[in-house]
Amino acid sequence: GIQVEQSPPDLILQEGANSTLRCNFSDSVNNLQWFHQNPWGQLINLFYIPSGTKQNGRLSATTVATERYSLLYISSSQTTDSGVYFCAVEDSGAGSYQLTFGKGTKLSVIP
Amino acid sequence: EAGVAQSPRYKIIEKRQSVAFWCNPISGHATLYWYQQILGQGPKLLIQFQNNGVVDDSQLPKDRFSAERLKGVDSTLKIQPAKLEDSAVYLCASSLGLGGNYNEQFFGPGTRLTVL
């Protein structure tokens, strides 16, 4: 099946700093989503981005499908940004519509 | 618009007992998914429904897990008998449909199961 690798696994930031999270995937995809899992376990949709660039406030994401990677940018980080960020992809060749998740990047923003 | 609803939020049982989880998807969403998330890992798909039919249950441990979506709306996931390794968060998700933009998935708050 498709492999999804996220980096870095852990990240500690001072409040106000910027960061870039990376997601590499091993095959072509139909769907790519970024999620934020907050400390209470809720998975919150950030972006649906199988290709191209999107922005939402302090967050933006870029997926380069031909090179099989996606980036999530967080600017001016806040303590509420803490949690785990997951990248999840739908394998276009698998015939199934399931999302395969990476292991996540755990972000801690300190005041 | 209401999100995906799940209950209960927490459940503690002893091994070999049975347990059931309930999910109500976003209104109008035809596709429903159950995922298992073990601590420190990403969610893993257990079963996927399109309306009331199963699309993919290849990763469901069928000797102890079962799921149904009889009327094509809400769904239940059951574990019988539970094992210690079933301790996890069980997440329900829904999407408009299959393929393309229809497959953007939205998740419920999850049920945290502890098996003692």
pLDDT digits (tens, 9 = 90+) for A15-58: 999 999 999 999 988 899 999 998 888 999 999 999 999 999 99
What's the rounded Cα separation, in Å, for the pair B116 and B83?
Answer: 8
Q: How confident is the model at residue B54 (pLDDT cuts 50, 70, 90)?
A: very high
What's the rounded Cα separation, in Å, for the pair A104 and A84?
Answer: 6
Least confident of A91-95, B1-5, B43-47: A91-95
Q: What is the pLDDT of residue A92?
A: 72
Q: Does B38 touch chain A (CB under 8 A)?
A: no
Q: How far is A97 from chain B (nearest CA, A)?
A: 7
Q: Taking CA atoms, what residue in A is nearest to B41?
A: A103
Inform me whether the pLDDT recorded for B40 exceeds 80.
Answer: yes
Q: What is the pLDDT of residue B99?
A: 76
Cis peptide before A9 (omega within 30 of 0): no
Query: What is the average pLDDT across A58-81?
Result: 97
Cβ within 8 Å of A, B 52-111: 55-56, 58, 89, 91, 98-101, 103-107, 109-110
Q: How confident is the model at residue A1 (pLDDT cuts 50, 70, 90)?
A: confident
Residues of B in contact with A42 (CB under 8 A): 107, 109-110
Q: Does B43 touch chain A (CB under 8 A)?
A: yes
Residues of A in contact with B107 (CB under 8 A): 35, 42-43, 45
Strands of B19-24's sheet in order across: B5-7, B19-24, B75-79, B65-68
Q: How confident is the model at residue A80 (pLDDT cuts 50, 70, 90)?
A: very high
Is residue A96 within 8 A of residue A1, CB to CB? The reply is no
Q: Residues with Cβ < 8 Å from B5, sequence gap 6 or more?
A: B23, B24, B108
Dihedral sign for Cα atoms in the order B13, B76, A83, A86: positive
Inform me whether the pLDDT recorded for B83 exceeds 80.
Answer: yes
What's the rounded Cα separation, in Å, for the pair B76 and B52?
Answer: 12
Q: What is the pLDDT of residue A37?
A: 96
What's the rounded Cα separation, in Å, for the pair A85 and A39?
Answer: 11
Inform me whether the pLDDT recorded for A96 exceeds 90.
Answer: no
Residue B94: exposed, middle, or buried by beta-carbon count in 10 A (0-12, 13-18, 19+)?
Answer: buried
Write the single-letter amino acid at B86: D
Q: Which two tokens stand for residue A62?
A: 């870029």
Q: Does A97 touch chain B (CB under 8 A)?
A: yes
| Nearest CB to B104 within list A4, A33, A102 | A33
Inform me whether the pLDDT recorded for A94 exceeds 70.
Answer: no
pLDDT averaged over chain A?
94
Is residue B41 within 8 A of residue B60, CB to CB? The reply is no
User: Which of the pair, A28 or A75, is modelled with greater confidence?
Assistant: A75
pLDDT averaged over chain B?
94
Inform me whether the pLDDT recorded for A105 exceeds 70.
Answer: yes
Concatenated DSSP letters of B31-51: EEEEEEE-TTS--EEEEEEET
What's the rounded Cα separation, in Å, for the pair A92 and A110?
Answer: 39
Is residue A99 within 8 A of residue A88, CB to CB? The reply is yes
Q: How confident is the model at residue B7 (pLDDT cuts 50, 70, 90)?
A: very high
